Structure 1
Amino acid sequence: MFRMSSLAAAPLLSALAFALPAEAETTVESSKGTTIAVAPVAEFNEPWAMTFLPDGSMLVTEKSGTLLHVAADGQEKTPVAGTPAVAYGGQGGLGDVVLHPNFAENRLVYLTFAEEGEGGQGAAVARARLAVDDGERPRLENVAVIWRQVPKVSGMGHYSHRIAFGPDGMMFVTSGERQKKTPAQAMDSNLGKIVRLHDDGAVPSDNPFQSDGEMARQFWTIGHRNMLGLAFDGGGQLWAHEMGPRGGDELNRIEKGANYGWPNVSNGENYDGSPIPDHATSDAYTKPEISWTPVIAPAGFVIYDGDLFADWKGDGLIGGLRSQALVHVAFEDGGQGGTATEVERFDMGQRVREVEQGPDGALFVLEDGPGGRLLKLTPASTAK
């Protein structure tokens, strides 16, 4: 029987004891006057994603390839053994970490990462069993790659590789177009797509592009650029945000079989200044619910369902890299599949890579880059 409490008992030799220098808890006021309390918890080297374990401790990925088990108070960080080798550089490295919906019974963990291969690099999804014995450090067992980007290409950008499990247990994975543009519309490449898979990587028979070739059988949607946030709302509706080129970041309602237009349409323009027809010019492509110009560079996404931020239940929180912000969006009918609008944003003063909800309803954000901090956010009136 796997005992999460034994993770905290791993020996000190395999743990990295950690304490932040004393930092005062601060408050941040949003663009519409909402105030939240911000408390530093821990610090990392290029953190990318996190998830909470049943006992309130965390798994945190660092882009260079380290998976860390982190105590709930942030005071102890233990490297997890058995993490796959990654292609580190540019936007590549270790990415998302997500628990299987039945983790308490099967102990399965999913990791995304960039890997080397013939032709260059590409994203991959690995599934493993998180195991620990009393007196030993946590480790991954039976690590198996269950999905890969095809083909591998040169360059180290636009991997995307975010994971979300749906209410029915299906796994959705964002696959960026790797800065190659045209594969997003191609049916013989899974770049620039959202794919839908069984939890073991098998392709479901009811995906929408069954008649478009073997590769296309895994696609749920096409025409994407670089999606770094993926989440289901309370009504089972899937939402994704993606980075536009120069302008035109998007929040999209994800619908089975839809084409979101990249690179044929965008509300931005190419980096060389050449124009791209915007979404209003064609009904062939699904338009974004929100489009941002200037860009926010969205990364990390959670749709809140806790009680601590009572007024935010059903709303989305998006991290901003270039905007250095936490962006609060509301759905028309409280996260049950309605249209979305931006409500407010909080100036965090640093690039925000990841946003997660904690077991007690607090929000947690990971700052990007070397020395990126894990911050706990609570309503200012309830901060301790």
Structure 2
Amino acid sequence: MARTLAILSFLMLGAWPVQALESSQGTLQAEEMASGLEAPWAFGFLPSGLVLITEKPGRLLALGPDGALHEIGGLGDIANRGQGGLLDILVPRDFSTSRELLFSYAKPQSGGAGTAVARARLNAAEDRLEDWTVIYEMTPGSSGGRHFGSRLVEAEDGTIFVTMGERGDRPSAQDLARENGSVLRITRTGDIPKDNPFANEAGARSAIWSYGHRNPQGAALDQDGQLWVSEHGAKGGDEINKITKGANYGWPVISYGRHYSGAKIGEGTSKPGMEQPAHYWDPSIAPSGLMIYSGALWPEWRGHVFTGSLKFGFLSRLDPADWSEERIDGPETGRLRDVREGPEGAIWLLSEEQGALYRVTP
């Protein structure tokens, strides 16, 4: 049921109190940009100054420069079940000319739902999507409401990386005949690049770029165009992975965690032919959206990896030189769902717990 949208956010000077977050680079100012959001999942910046926000129940909002929120219509059929719903949004680099947006979401399928990617155009009035088109969807066969993934990243060559969870079906992450538990690489039309690692392998899903993942909830490129992914383990074993073409990341054969029952996972922590994580957490923090910072406002943090903790409610900053971690926390970091760098270098945080979007500056 559609709910009435309250205009609760104002960007004018003094409209909201600015809160302080303490960090190794001094006090950070966290300004609330929007509130009253329902299960927000992702956001993206448009050249016009609008910020688009997805809500998992199946709603797309636009936050204007004047602080007003309005709903954007034209979404397809969204399966809002468990961890699934309307998930990530990608604003391609050519948006100014193409007007195209990409979305990942849980798509109703026979007997259940699967992660899918859709493309649509935003109209000139910026209040409605046109030509919603499903360009790729997970092979049908998954039920339940767990582990949809899913993040979208535009590679330097214009192809699209898509992260997909194993949907709670652990063995499927090792099955190249299914997309479950994989990172995909597709084009903007949903076609398969000819240089994908399994494009010519009989029986394999040719969109797969890497596999053996559990539930990748964050993805980002570093300054060299390298893809990194954060993913949920079980009880322990959350990971940051540097994604390599054709690589197997081991789930559920190897893991640094244990099942929630306490039982051992698979064969241990390593096996020939399976990749090791760049970093892992034990106990689990439930990492969310991933950002690799440019250094625009905090030069000392250039190349550092940021992710939110859904479980403990902090912003994690990781230095890839030694993977040392700083945990920045306050009310604004409660159950962070997405973390992104804004057009001018500010760090933006989307808090599911607060139902709010924040802009962090020095």
C-alpha contact 2:293 2:341 (8 A) present in aligned 1: yes
C-alpha contact 1:131 1:138 (8 A) present in aligned 2: yes
Structure 2 SS opposite 1:89: coil
C-alpha contact 1:241 1:250 (8 A) present in aligned 2: yes
Indicate whether 1:64 and 2:47 are aligned.
no
Displacement of 1:287: 0.3
Structure 2 SS opposite 1:272: coil
C-alpha contact 1:40 1:375 (8 A) present in aligned 2: yes
Indicate whether 1:342 and 2:324 are aligned.
yes
Structure 1 SS opposite 2:324: strand
Gaps spanning 5+ residues in structure 1: where?
1-13, 333-339, 380-384
| Residue in 1 that maps onto 2:39 | 46
Alignment equivalent of 1:164, drawn from 138, 141, 153:
153
Displacement of 1:329: 1.4
| Residue in 1 that maps onto 2:131 | 142
Paired letter, 2:158:
G
Indicate the percent of aligned positions where both proteins have the same amino acid: 38
- Once residues 152 and 245 of structure 2 are traced to their aligned partners in structure 1, the CA distance between those partners, rounded to angstroms, is 17
Structure 2 SS opposite 1:353: strand
C-alpha contact 2:253 2:268 (8 A) present in aligned 1: no
Paired letter, 2:357:
L
Q: 1:138 to 1:23 in 2, by over 3 A?
A: closer
Paired letter, 1:116:
P
- Once residues 54 and 278 of structure 1 are traced to their aligned partners in structure 2, the CA distance between those partners, rounded to angstroms, is 49
Displacement of 1:280: 4.1
Structure 1 SS opposite 2:150: strand
| Residue in 2 that maps onto 1:352 | 336
| 1:27-80 deviations in Å (ceiling 9; x for gaps) | 1224x574312111111111000000012220000111010111135x211111
Displacement of 1:82: 0.2
Paired letter, 2:327:
R
Q: TM-score when scaled to structure 2?
A: 0.92
Structure 1 SS opposite 2:151: strand
Displacement of 1:139: 0.8
Q: TM-score when scaled to structure 1?
A: 0.87
- Once residues 375 and 294 of structure 1 are traced to their aligned partners in structure 2, the CA distance between those partners, rounded to angstroms, is 27
Give the superposed CA RMSD.
1.9
Alignment equivalent of 2:284, drawn from 263, 283, 295:
295
Indicate whether 1:93 and 2:85 are aligned.
yes
Q: 1:214 to 1:205 in 2, by over 3 A?
A: farther
Displacement of 1:330: 2.1
- Once residues 342 and 150 of structure 1 are traced to their aligned partners in structure 2, the CA distance between those partners, rounded to angstroms, is 39
Gaps spanning 5+ residues in structure 2: where?
none
Structure 1 SS opposite 2:158: coil
C-alpha contact 1:110 1:125 (8 A) present in aligned 2: yes
For 1:230-379, what aligned pairs fall within 5 Å after superposition? 230-277=219-266, 280-332=269-321, 341-349=323-331, 350-369=334-353, 371-379=354-362
Q: 1:215 to 1:100 in 2, by over 3 A?
A: farther
C-alpha contact 1:229 1:242 (8 A) present in aligned 2: yes
Alignment equivalent of 1:222, drawn from 207, 211, 223:
211
Alignment equivalent of 1:109, drawn from 97, 101, 113:
101
